[in-house]
Structure 1
Amino acid sequence: MSASDEVKAGDVPAAEAAGGAGGGSVDEATGVRAADVEVEASRVVRIVAAVVLIVLSGTFLVGVFDIRSPKGFDPAGPRFFPLLVTSAWLLLSIGYLVEGLRSPRAGSNADRSWFEPVSVSALLVLYALLVVPLGYMIATALLFFAAARVLGSRQLVRDIVVAVVLAVVVYVAFTQFLDISLPEGVLGL
């Protein structure tokens, strides 16, 4: 066994003090572990995302009742499947919120990162405003690209390619296979 493989008795407490038993480095100025900050940010993001999902699913569920159909909620009618999907979406969103609320909290000194959830929420609102005038293809590609950048991607070419490919694949799936028309916008597709 070489000298570098040996663990000295005095090194173990120093390593634990630097990283803590749970891992993550400790900021010497604040005394907050990086792992605590990540846990708290992750918890806040989950709660915000769950609330957004609950609001959206609730809105769509109300919209299901605006669908006019002589068949009511008959499985062959146009209201049944949207009711089933939005109800399941609402229940899963509530479960996600409960899971986020029950997740462990970090110390009270933890720095909270609000940039990503607030930015993605703002992008979704902007997308809702631009999807009709710009059209589905342009608005969706811009949304995917901007969301990738907000979430930390720095691969410009890859982000553009993935955004365009995803927008085209979803567009084709909806228009060709599901026969759902999407906003044409300036491209006229």
Structure 2
Amino acid sequence: MLNHLRPALVLLGAFTLLTGVAYPFAMTGIAQVAFPRQALGSLVEQDGKVIGSSIMGQSFTTDRYFQSRPSATVGPDPADPSKSISVPYNAANSGGSNYGPTSKALIERVSADVEARKAQNPSSPVPMDLVTASASGLDPHLSPEAALFQVERVAKARGVPADQVKALVERSVEPRTFGLLGEPRVNVLALNLALDKVGSQ
């Protein structure tokens, strides 16, 4: 019995150390050396303080900033931890709502968002990504159309010319990765930081 058990235990211990300790430490070390910024979460700092990540969306609610697409992430209810409540851009609980296209709750929420967006800019059609959440709920990007849709509201709130804000959006558009992967996009946090540098009049 021991003759069969001993090799199994030795292999279990060896593979635990190899795959559970040595490999993760090696990969973490290589990542820290080769891609230090990305390995630490692509953090964005301002005045020595971390204010976000370039790969994680966050909520912007005031009219002075470009707003991100909706987020369906949830978190525990502080009043009752056994229940969940809506916590937009909760990076600890990435995920979508799992509502289907016939869901009454989804239809009502999207319809309300469309009406709210139309009130902000009645002259343009509402871009889809301004009223729908991404699969992760943490998308840091908007389509250029969704950013341009918000130009008038942001310019008015800041008291700056709309043309100046529009030009800032156009300069902030990131092309397709390697020229062919994905779609052109605008990082909302980076755009809002650039907007703060413009200032207000």
TM superposition score normalised by structure 1: 0.25
More strand by share: 2
TM-score by length of 2: 0.24
Rg (Cα) greater in structure: 1
